[in-house]
Amino acid sequence: MLELKKIKGNTYYFPSPANIGLYVSNNDAILIDSGNDSDAGRQILKILNENSWSLKMIINTHSNADHCGGNEFLQKKTGCKIASTQLEKAFIENPILEPSFLYGGFATQELRNKFLMAKPSVVTDFISNSGNILDTGLNAISLPGHFFDMIGVSTPDGVVFLADSLFSSRIITKYHLFYLYDISSQLETLQKLSTLNYEYYVPSHSELCTDLSELIEINRTKINEIIETLVDFCTEPKTIDSIISYVFSKYNLTLNSSQYVLIGNAIRSYLSYLVDSKVLKTVIENNEFKFVK
């Protein structure tokens, strides 16, 4: 069950597997993401109603299903606006794009699940990935890397919601790999995060904190470890499936369809980063596309 917690001033959050932010001004409520499904939306709306707050807008930091899964229910019930960057809008309004993109073709029915595919909702307002967010008093911070045009959102209370720019030490210790679309941008984002100066930080998949330095280093260290793992394995030409199989085995991860497309896609992003950095190269042998040092 979701529980509302106050951070400071008019800024609140709902601790959950993907933390949900809330800013209230003159009884108008602005959500920062909406949870993973209609049940999350239902619980959010109940709490807003109990506080006599009217939902004005949902700002989606990005379009992954666990961040916009409550959109459809909340928009249908309240008529609220939904704001996102333009690239993320395409996925929010057309959720089939996410499993299709991850799979690399039309996604099988097994992959068209709520973990990878939220219900569609209508983005009413485009916002820039940095600067003022319409007339809300909130500000966007560009945080690319995890997804196409992800943003963080700061409030006037010295609180910043950081979306999926950082993952908790618990998640990293358990799973080792977390989804990244653009490794180069993610490394730049980690450096950017180290320069931020807010009183409170709320990563979506970690605890509320007042200092990011340790978490940034944990994330950076794991990314560099994955890079080293891939480079060491590709001393001879390797296919993408052999690389994915090796990585899953190395970290004792359980391979299922959703994990294959999600983490397999992330591994492809690592390999692209290494090819663009001229650490690896691609070759075609016996009609097989391979990577090699």
How many other CB atoms are found less than 10 A from the CB of residue 17? 11
pLDDT at 273 over 90: yes
pLDDT tens digits for range 120-170: 999 999 999 999 999 999 999 999 999 999 999 999 999 999 999 999 999
Determine the pLDDT at residue 111: 96
| Whole-angstrom distance, CA of residue 176 vs CA of residue 251 | 7
Q: Which among 283, 248, 246, 278 is positioned nearest to 263, based on CA atoms?
A: 248
Of all residues in the chain, what percent carry a pLDDT higher than 90?
98
| Whole-angstrom distance, CA of residue 248 vs CA of residue 268 | 14
Specify the pTM: 0.96
pLDDT tens digits for range 189-212: 999 999 999 999 999 999 999 999
Q: Which pair of tokens denotes residue 233?
A: 């394995």
Determine the pLDDT at residue 146: 98
On the 0-12 / 13-18 / 19+ scale of CB atoms within 10 A, 130 is middle
Q: Which pair of tokens denotes residue 26?
A: 């003159």
Looking up tokens 């008093």 gives 137
Please provide the average confidence, as pLDDT, over all residues in the chain. 97
Q: Which pair of tokens denotes residue 73?
A: 């229910």
Determine the pLDDT at residue 225: 98
Determine the pLDDT at residue 72: 98
Of all residues in the chain, what percent carry a pLDDT higher than 70?
100
| Whole-angstrom distance, CA of residue 188 vs CA of residue 181 | 13
pLDDT at 267 over 90: yes
- The predicted model gives 240-247 an average pLDDT of 96
- Paired with 30 in beta bridges are 23, 57
- The predicted model gives 65-74 an average pLDDT of 98
Determine the pLDDT at residue 209: 98
On the 0-12 / 13-18 / 19+ scale of CB atoms within 10 A, 235 is exposed
pLDDT tens digits for range 93-113: 999 999 999 999 999 999 999
Residues 208/200, Cβ–Cβ less than 8 Å: yes
Residues 152/143, Cβ–Cβ less than 8 Å: yes
Name the band, by pLDDT with cuts 50, 70 and 90, for residue 183.
very high
Determine the pLDDT at residue 194: 98
How many other CB atoms are found less than 10 A from the CB of residue 284? 9
Q: In what order do the strands lie in the sheet with 139-142?
A: 131-132, 139-142, 151-154, 159-161, 200-202
Domains in the chain (CATH in brackets) are: 5-223 (3.60.15.10), 225-292 (1.10.10)
Q: For CA atoms 182, 184, 189, 190, give the dihedral sign.
A: positive
Name the band, by pLDDT with cuts 50, 70 and 90, for residue 254.
confident
Please tell me the number of Cα atoms within 13 Å of 98 on its side-chain side: 30
Determine the pLDDT at residue 255: 81
- The predicted model gives 204-227 an average pLDDT of 98
Instruction: Tell me the H-state helices in the chain.
Output: 38-50, 65-68, 71-78, 86-93, 97-103, 169-175, 183-193, 213-233, 240-250, 257-276
